[in-house]
Amino acid sequence: VMQTFEGLQSTLYYTRSEAIRRGGHVTLRKEPTGTNGCSLGNNNDEWDCGWYVFSDVNANGNFNSGDTRLKGFLTSKGIQVTRSESAGSITFDRWGMPAEPFGFTIIPQGKNLSDPAAIGLCMSRGGRVRKVPTADVPC
């Protein structure tokens, strides 16, 4: 669980810095179900298979022809990653900020939010990422 939290935190900071460097149009998107044999993550709020960062030329939140994949993270099997809002992507502007604050919960598969290993992650509109109790998600 902690490895996934740190991977998500690191990817969010990377996405933010790339958006600043590239003048915006950088998106973080969940990996589709089936990636690396992952059978989870069927809904937009389920990021269980992992995520990737790409330059989003037309800023539509989808990986299209002409976009460039920059970095990815595949989650370990047995980890459930849920976004507080049902959306499969997060786009960052030229200042490295998401459109709105958001959060994730990260828990062992088959457990619930009261499990001691459960972690909440929040990112503020200003780009600050922090670890929070799962009760504080959504942020």
Q: Which residues, in sequence order, are CB contacts of 66 under 8 Å at separation 6+?
A: 57, 58
Which pLDDT belongs to residue 136?
A: 84
Other CB atoms within 10 A of residue 38 CB: 16
C-alpha to C-alpha distance for 83 and 118, rounded to whole angstroms:
14
Which pLDDT belongs to residue 71?
A: 96
Query: Are 39 and 56 spatial neighbours (Cβ–Cβ below 8 Å)?
Result: no
Which pLDDT belongs to residue 34?
A: 81
Of 66, 65, 60, nearest in space to 29 by CA:
60
Which pLDDT belongs to residue 99?
A: 85
pLDDT per 10-residue tile (average), the chain, 139 residues: 95 97 96 83 89 94 94 92 91 93 93 91 91 85
